[in-house]
Every structure is written in C-alpha cells, then in structure tokens.
C-alpha cells in the first residue's frame, strides 16, 4: 500500500475510480483508519464508495460507526443492506439483524444466507433451519449455508443427512462436509468422502491434513502433505502446526527452513508457529534469524509474531530483549501483555503478576510459589481463584508437589488434572514418581496400570542442546548420535559423581528407583538419568572443541529439579533459567559465562582424572582418546 499511495499522491488528475481503489486497498489490508481518511477527503462519492466503507467497518466490528454512515447514505442497494445485516450477525446481534432484514426492499439469496449463517453461528441451528424453510426459493448458496451451520454446531449426523438430500453440490458443499467429519475426528468417513469427491482443490487436501494432525496421526498427515499436487501457505502452516502441537518441535523448525529453501513465502502465522517451536527448543540463534527475517520482510509485530518473539526471548533467557520487543510494539493487545507478564514472572519478577490477573498469571504464580516450596500458599492461590483452575494450574501444582514430596497435594492435583485431560501422560508420570519416592511402589504400579488400560502413552524423554546454531537431540536409549560411544563412556563415569552432587531428595528418589524397583525403566529413572547427564556430558565433550562457547541452551521435556536446587550456590546472574508453566511441560535452561566449567564440570573432572584410561580427555589429546573409544574399551569401563 505504501507504493500505491506514492503513485496516488503523484497523480495529477484523480478520478472516482482511483479514490475508490485506494479505499478498497486499505480496507483489504485491514487499515480502516487510513481508508476513512481517504473517504473523508475525496471530493465526491458514489454508491460504491459508501459500500466499501460500510463493508470495511462491519468486518472490523465497528458496527455502530458503520450504522452512522448507513443512515447518512443518499441511496442504498442490496449490497449495502447485506453488509449491515452481516455486520450485526457477526457481532451476535441477531435481533437488529432481523429488524434490518424486514426493512430490506429487495432480498436476494445472499441476504437469506447471511441470516441462516448468523443464527447458525449463534448456536441457534433450529432458527437457522426455520429460515431455510421460509425461503421462497433455495439455491446452492443457501443449501451450503445451512450445511455449514450444522457443521459448526457439531451436528455431523444432521449435516450428513442434509448433504445427501442436496439436489446439487459444488466443491464448497463437498469441502464443508469433509471439514465437518475432520473437525470431529471422524477421519475414516472423511477419507471415504475425499476419495468420492469428483474434484479436489488445495482446501480439500488441507482439511484432511489438519484432521489427521488433530488426532495425532502426524505420519499420515506427512504422507498427504508430500503427495498433494499443490501447496499454499495454509498447507505449510497446517503441517508446521501439526508438528508443533504433537511435540515434534525439531521437525517443525526443519520444515520451516526447508520451506524457505524452496522459495515459499511464509505469512505472519507461519512465523508465529515456528517461533513458538523455536521457543520450546530454546534455539536462540534460529530465533534471531526468524526475527531478522520478519523485520526484513516488513512483517508487523503488532500481531502473533510479536507475541511469539516475546515468548521466545523470555524462554531463552533474554528477558531484556523481550522487553525491547514489547516496548516497540505500537498496538499491543492482551496476548502481548500476557506473554510479557509471564516472561517477567518466570524470571523471578513475580510482582508483575499483580498488574493484570488472568488465568495464565495464576498458573505462573502457583508455579513460582510451588518451586519455592510454599505449597500451602500455592494451594490457597488455587482455591481463591475467581475462575475455574485449568489444566495448566493443576499441572504446576502437581509438579511442585512432586519436587517437594507432598503426596496429599499431589494426589488432589493429579485427580483434577486427569479428569480434565485424561490422555495426558504427564499427570500419571508425576504421580507415579512421587509414589516411588514415598516408597509406595504398589500405588506407582497401579498408576502405570491405569495408564495402560486407558491407552495413555508416556512421552519419551527428550533433550535438546544447541551449540553454534546446531541442534543436538537426545532421547532415552538413543544411539544415533555420531558421538554415541564418547557420550555413554562419560555418562558411565559421571553417574557416581552426579548421584553425590544432586540434592538429598533427588538422591533418595534416584536411589530408590535404581535399587528397589526392578522395572525402573518404566518409572522414568533411565530417562531422567540420561537427561540429567546429557547436559554435563555435552559440555565436557565440547569443552575442547568449542572452548569459545559463552552461552549454552538446553531444553528438556522433563524438569531437572537438581539444577534448580543448586541455584543459591551460584553467583547472581550466572544461571538465568525458567520452568515452563504452560501445557507443553518443557523445561528450559540457559547457562551463561563460565558456569559450565565452574559447576557442572567440577562434578566429573576429578573422577575422570583419577582414571588412567580417561586421562587423554583431560590432557587435550583428543585423537588418543578417540582411538581408545572402542566397544571393548567401553564394556571394560
């Protein structure tokens, strides 16, 4: 629009068409204020000028302002009436919409369709059907409106019956029915209908991909994405979102950069999704690249991109950069405030929560109090909330109860959490671990039995470490990393040192799991051990190779309580970190300066130096060390 305005300003003669084109451009780009300025300054107006402004104001939910212009109009046509009725309907004011409908001197099928849509969107599907029956004539538009109404209200059976009774169908009809099946998890029926479609477009493929992603069938969504004949930006966004929502964060980031290499142009939703995935992984290098790309491409930070950037920088330990982003956003909405307040709270600025209390802020406060050991205060916060606590709040309380060994609060929080999200494994895993810590092994087994009976699968333990812009991914029992032998060698040597270094409560938990439970793998001990060690191992292995590394980001989907308990022993500012209070259950740590050498490496250096087989690692003779890292050598250790 900047280029269009420059050309418009240089025009020596402007006719009515050029003025209307400027209004239309601003309206389509959502800049209603600029459109109004052009409308007010134009020397003359026609019916098209008035209709453009009324339609723009109605779609922007400025219905009262639109009504003022409507009342001033010298003449009106059916488009004018339809825009006003549609504006009231979308605002949920069906009473006024009905009054205007009665005043329309000439109604067309669009007018009737707007009323049917309006009642359907207001969850008054019965009235929508009555209006459909009252129509003097029915065409494809009104049939599709009623079909969409049943789909939106979740009445898939009625939608199916109406679809079968339609005298004729177009692509919109097929896609509407397909979307109804997909949104309600009926993917087998959706796939059958998809195969029956005489014509498919990119929307049809997108509906199937989105439906499979929503039920967790990402593999099939991938296959559809790969074979679809044409992809638009929505296709890419749906696949990115599917990876993100199903915990495949690295795949989401990789897909975005693959999209960039293919020359596909992302939109603001693309950047918001990938920034959210980057935030969960703690990939500050990639996050800054996306930030720079957004600025180069002149994306506005006033929407979802700004929210995602604030979240990303906060989770990566750069709350000052998050504040800078927040300060530079001109039109802040509630999401920007929520992201910034949450970011400040997780960095210890809990007093910021008093600025504006929403349910997210209660979740942060419960998390802060719980981690500090004030469980009773956290419970009082939950009990005094003016709104019903959601799963985020109960999960924060359950995690804190597990960290501090409070079985009573843990059981209460777990019951509430399981009722809310019965297929989320984190509540079962946390509850079972506290039973183990308390020595109630039968109760722990019962929890895992219930999980198995309900078909709840535990998410595998994953850790991510970013070094020099490269993301290293580790999972429990993983042997795919190119430095596997080196990693497991050091792991074997570090276990005794880490057992001594962790806090007494964690030592008790680990010792109980390893020594007294024969199935400790099921009780996540192995995963926890690998995650606890993987950070120190990587620092040790990379101490010689990347000696200039100053900042290290670690993300794990399990909470590393040991590092939290060591915080008082570390100099102020050396260990900025956060534990996520969101539903992702991820934990993020940012280690700056010399902390890796001063603290974590001290757990292993003495042990390694005392072992003659491992001296090369300490003496800097890397080639000698590699030569000795044979399978026989590892088994001997």
- Distances in whole angstroms, Cα of residue 16 to Cα of each of 4, 23, 38, 40: 16, 11, 12, 13
* C-beta atoms surrounding 303 within 10 Å: 18
Q: What proportion of the chain, given as a percentage, has pLDDT over 90?
A: 12
Question: Distance between CA atoms of 119 and 117, rounded to whole angstroms?
Answer: 6
Question: Distance between CA atoms of 7 and 192, rounded to whole angstroms?
Answer: 52
Matching residue, tokens 């003449």: 75
User: Does 534 score more than 90 pLDDT?
Assistant: no
Question: Distance between CA atoms of 135 and 81, rounded to whole angstroms?
Answer: 18
Question: Distance between CA atoms of 333 and 304, rounded to whole angstroms?
Answer: 10
Strand arrangement of the beta sheet that strand 462-467 belongs to: 470-475, 462-467, 551-556, 587-592, 577-579
Q: How distant is the alpha carbon of residue 63 from its chain centre? A: 32
Shortest CA distance to 290 belongs to which of 257, 320, 264, 265? 257
The pLDDT tens digits for 274-298 are 999 988 887 888 889 999 999 888 8
| pLDDT score recorded for residue 554 | 56
Shortest CA distance to 31 belongs to which of 324, 328, 336, 330? 330
Question: Distance between CA atoms of 461 and 501, rounded to whole angstroms?
Answer: 22
What DSSP element (H or E) covers 470?
strand 470-475
The pLDDT tens digits for 137-177 are 777 888 888 888 888 877 888 888 888 888 888 898 999 99
Question: Distance between CA atoms of 212 and 209, rounded to whole angstroms?
Answer: 5
Question: Distance between CA atoms of 396 and 427, rounded to whole angstroms?
Answer: 10
Domain residue ranges in the chain? 361-453, 462-636
| pLDDT score recorded for residue 205 | 94
Burial environment of residue 550 by CB neighbours within 10 A (0 to 12, 13 to 18, 19 or more): exposed
The pLDDT tens digits for 107-148 are 787 888 888 878 877 778 888 888 788 877 777 888 888 888
Mean pLDDT of 619-634: 42
Mean pLDDT of 375-386: 80
**Percent helix / strand / coil, the chain, rounded to 5:** 70, 5, 25
Mean pLDDT of 243-261: 90
Instruction: Name residue 589's beta-bridge partners.
Output: 554, 577
Question: Distance between CA atoms of 5 and 19, rounded to whole angstroms?
Answer: 11
Highest mean pLDDT: which range of 231-245, 446-460, 535-549, 580-594: 231-245
Q: What proportion of the chain, given as a percentage, has pLDDT over 70?
A: 69
Matching residue, tokens 């009436």: 81
- Choose which CATH entry (3.90.79, 1.10.10, 1.25.40, 1.20.120) describes domain 361-453: 1.25.40
Burial environment of residue 408 by CB neighbours within 10 A (0 to 12, 13 to 18, 19 or more): exposed
pLDDT, the chain, mean: 73
Highest mean pLDDT: which range of 343-347, 475-479, 592-596: 343-347
How long a stretch of residues is the chain?
A: 637
Answer with the residue of higher pLDDT: 455 or 64. 64
Instruction: Name residue 579's beta-bridge partners.
Output: 587
Shortest CA distance to 301 belongs to which of 263, 275, 265, 264? 275
Mean pLDDT of 57-64: 82
pTM: 0.59
DSSP 109-168: HHHHHHHHHHHHHTT-HHHHHHHHHH-SS--HHHHHHHHHHHHHTT-HHHHHHHHHH-S-
Question: Distance between CA atoms of 237 and 267, rounded to whole angstroms?
Answer: 9
Question: Distance between CA atoms of 323 and 320, rounded to whole angstroms?
Answer: 5
Instruction: Name residue 464's beta-bridge partners.
Output: 473, 555
User: Does 576 score more than 60 pLDDT?
Assistant: no
Confidence category of residue 602, pLDDT binned at 50, 70, 90: very low
Instruction: Name residue 578's beta-bridge partners.
Output: 588
């Amino acid at each position: 629009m900047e280029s269009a305005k420059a050309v418009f300003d240089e025009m020596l003669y402007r006719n009515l068409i050029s003025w209307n084109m400027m209004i239309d451009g601003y309206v389509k780009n959502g800049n209603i204020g600029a459109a109004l300025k052009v409308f007010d300054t134009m020397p003359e107006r026609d019916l098209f000028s008035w209709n453009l402004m009324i339609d723009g104001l109605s779609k922007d939910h400025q219905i009262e302002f639109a009504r003022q212009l409507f009342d001033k109009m010298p003449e009106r046509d059916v488009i004018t009436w339809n825009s006003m009725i549609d504006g009231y309907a979308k605002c949920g004011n069906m009473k006024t919409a009905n009054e205007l409908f009665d005043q329309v001197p000439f109604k067309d099928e669009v007018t009737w369709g707007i009323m049917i849509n309006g009642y359907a969107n207001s969850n008054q599907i019965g009235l929508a059907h009555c209006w459909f029956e009252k129509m003097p004539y029915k065409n494809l538009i009104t049939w599709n409106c009623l079909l969409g109404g049943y789909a939106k209200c979740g009445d898939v059976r009625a939608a199916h019956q109406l679809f079968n009774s339609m005298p004729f169908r177009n692509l919109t009809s097929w896609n509407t029915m397909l979307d109804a099946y997909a949104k309600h998890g009926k993917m087998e029926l959706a796939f059958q209908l998809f195969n029956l479609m005489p014509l498919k477009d990119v929307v049809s493929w997108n509906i199937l991909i989105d439906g499979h992603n929503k039920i967790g069938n990402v593999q099939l969504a991938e296959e559809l994405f790969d074979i679809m004949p044409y992809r638009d930006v929505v296709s890419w966004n749906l696949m990115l979102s599917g990876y993100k929502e199903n915990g495949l964060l690295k795949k989401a980031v990789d897909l975005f950069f693959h999209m960039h290499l293919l020359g596909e142009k992302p939109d603001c939703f693309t950047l918001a999704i990938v920034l959210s995935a980057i935030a969960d992984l703690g990939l500050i290098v990639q996050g800054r690249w996306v930030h720079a790309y957004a600025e180069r491409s002149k994306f506005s930070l006033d929407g979802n991109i700004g929210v995602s950037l604030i979240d990303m920088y906060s989770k990566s330990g750069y709350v000052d950069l998050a504040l800078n982003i927040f300060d530079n956003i001109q039109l802040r909405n509630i999401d920007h405030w929520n992201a910034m307040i949450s970011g400040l709270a997780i960095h210890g600025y809990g007093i910021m929560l008093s600025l504006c209390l929403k349910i997210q802020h209660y979740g942060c406060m419960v998390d802060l109090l719980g981690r500090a050991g004030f469980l009773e205060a956290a419970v009082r916060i939950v009990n005094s909330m003016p709104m019903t606590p959601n799963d985020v709040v109960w999960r924060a309380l359950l995690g804190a109860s597990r960290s501090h060994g409070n079985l009573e609060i843990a059981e209460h929080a777990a019951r509430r959490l399981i009722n809310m999200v019965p297929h989320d494994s984190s509540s079962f895993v946390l509850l079972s671990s506290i039973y183990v810590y308390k020595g109630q092994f039968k109760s722990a087994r019962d929890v895992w039995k219930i999980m198995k009976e309900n078909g709840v699968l535990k998410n595998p333990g994953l850790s991510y470490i970013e070094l020099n812009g490269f993301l290293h991914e580790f999972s429990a029992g993983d042997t795919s990393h190119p430095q596997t032998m080196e990693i497991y060698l050091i792991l074997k040597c570090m276990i005794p040192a880490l057992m001594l270094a962790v806090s007494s409560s964690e030592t008790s938990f680990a010792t109980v799991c390893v020594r007294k439970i024969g199935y400790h793998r099921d009780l996540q001990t192995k995963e926890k051990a690998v995650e606890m060690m993987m950070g120190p191992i990587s620092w040790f292995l990379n101490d010689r190779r990347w000696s200039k590394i100053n900042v290290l980001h670690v993300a794990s989907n399990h909470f590393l309580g040991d590092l939290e308990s060591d915080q008082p022993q570390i100099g102020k500012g050396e260990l900025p970190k956060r534990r996520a209070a969101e539903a992702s259950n991820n934990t993020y740590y940012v280690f700056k300066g010399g902390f890796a050498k001063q603290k974590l490496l001290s757990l292993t250096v003495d042990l390694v130096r005392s072992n003659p087989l491992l001296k090369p690692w300490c003496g800097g003779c890397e080639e000698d060390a590699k030569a000795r890292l044979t399978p026989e050598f590892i088994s001997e250790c």
